[in-house]
Amino acid sequence: MKTAGITIDRRDELDGVLVAHKEAGWTSHDVVAKVRKLLGESKVGHAGTLDPTATGVLPIMVGRATRIAEYLMDWDKEYRAVLRLGETTDTQDASGRVLTKHDPSRVDEGEIRMTVAQFGGVQRQVPPMYSAVKVGGQPLYKAARAGKIIERGERSVIIHELEILDIDGPDVTLRIVCSKGTYVRTLCADIGQSLGVGGHLYALERRRVGPLSIDQALTIDQIAGHLTMGTLQHQFLSLDRLLSQLPAVVVNMEQAQRVVHGNPVSPAGINQLPVSPHPVFVRVKNEAGQLLAIGTHDPTGLGPIKIRKVFSLVTH
């Protein structure tokens, strides 16, 4: 691939995850399409959809990284959200049609703080109608656009941290650290309902996805700039780094040849892997530190590591 007179080895350098900074007005798919066009790479995807009005961290997976999305989905997320009290909307955010209005001055700061504090820990949420959650094989947002209300069950989510950063009239700025599957829109609507005046998500910025921070995030213009200067490869996070939460096992040269062909292996140190009631995912690396594959280890400690996904055929 040639860009601005610079030859880029896409096989090695442009492979991993870019931390993109999604801007307001863009869908997550828009960002993926733009990166795909810039890189000339067909294998581009994202982890953790952001609504068009939201901004912030959007992990963009390129090349082989598109194959590890399932291992990143359990990452927690951190948001900075503005809850506007006194108005409910049909989308639970500022893009929707206003349904009800109440005077937010009816609640004082002490009541707001006391109510917000009750929303920490395990919470039950009903997914909003304007969401991509599927019921009966159909995304809820399609039914919502058709004016339909679909019965949907509650889901358990975890609000790890919930902190009020500022209260300015009807607007309450929140810092939220939560589990996957949490709808911040619904959290804001539920807080407003609990306060008796209603509320909706007025603004949202995702500050972190797992270890990926807003400080690392690049706008599309910055990504294009790095590509032109030939420095974009330095902005990619490797698969090994992204999977660092998985324990690593090292195989010798002979075993490495087995791994890259998808065959099970029993490397030294296998009995030191964590004990778990479920199969343990592990990174399989060669003696040079190169990530070869992801495997699973039987929790009983018996039997070899079974290879699930091979990433490299290079075993030196």
Contact 296, 274 (CB under 8 A): no
Cβ within 8 Å of residue 142, ≥6 positions away: none
Q: Identify the band that residue 307 occupies on the pLDDT scale cut at 50, 70 and 90.
A: very high
Predicted pLDDT at 236:
94
Query: Which sequence positions are flagged as catalytic?
Result: 51
Answer whether residue 10 shows pLDDT above 70. Answer: no
Q: Round the average pLDDT of the chain to a whole number and report it.
A: 87
Question: What is the band of 278 on the pLDDT scale with cuts at 50, 70, 90?
Answer: confident
Domain ranges of the chain: 2-74+212-240, 77-209, 246-310
Tens digits of residue pLDDT in 37-82: 999 988 999 988 898 899 999 999 999 888 888 887 789 999 999 9
Which pLDDT value is given to residue 134?
65
pLDDT surpasses 90 at 254? yes
Helix, strand, or coil here: 218? strand
How confident is the model over 205-242, as pLDDT tens digits?
Answer: 999 999 999 999 999 999 999 999 999 999 999 999 99
3 state DSSP class of 51: coil
Q: pLDDT confidence of 144, banded at 50, 70, 90? A: low
What is the chain's alpha carbon radius of gyration, rounded to the nearest angstrom? Answer: 23
CATH of 2-74+212-240, one of 3.40.50.1970, 2.170.120.12, 3.30.2350.10, 3.60.21.10: 3.30.2350.10
Mark out the alpha helices in 81-164 (DSSP H runs).
109-117, 140-145
Question: Which residue's structure tokens are 């080895």?
Answer: 9
Specify the CATH number of the domain 246-310.
Answer: 2.30.130.10
Structure tokens at 158: 């975890």
pLDDT at position 287: 92
- How far is residue 172's CA from residue 167's CA, in Å, rounded to a whole number? 5
Helix (H, G, I), strand (E, B) or coil at 251: coil
Token code pair at residue 258: 């087995």
Q: Is the fold of 2-74+212-240 the same as that of 77-209?
A: yes
pLDDT at 313: 60
| Residue 20: pLDDT over 60 | yes
Residues 46/59, Cβ–Cβ less than 8 Å: yes
Band (pLDDT 50/70/90 cuts) for residue 11 is very low
One of 3.90.420.10, 3.20.20.70, 1.20.1740.10, 3.30.2350.10 is the CATH number of 77-209, namely: 3.30.2350.10
The Cα 300–Cα 50 span in angstroms is 40
Query: What is the DSSP-derived secondary structure letter of residue 279?
Result: P
Segment 282-307 mean pLDDT: 86
- Cβ atoms of 154 and 54 within 8 Å: the answer is no
pLDDT in tens, 121-139: 999 997 776 666 666 666 6
Pairing label, strands 55-62, 199-209: parallel
Report the pLDDT value the prediction gives residue 228, as an integer from 0 to 100.
94
Q: How many other C-beta atoms can be found within 10 angstroms of the C-beta atom of residue 108?
A: 10
- Torsions phi, psi for 211 (to 5 deg): -85, 0
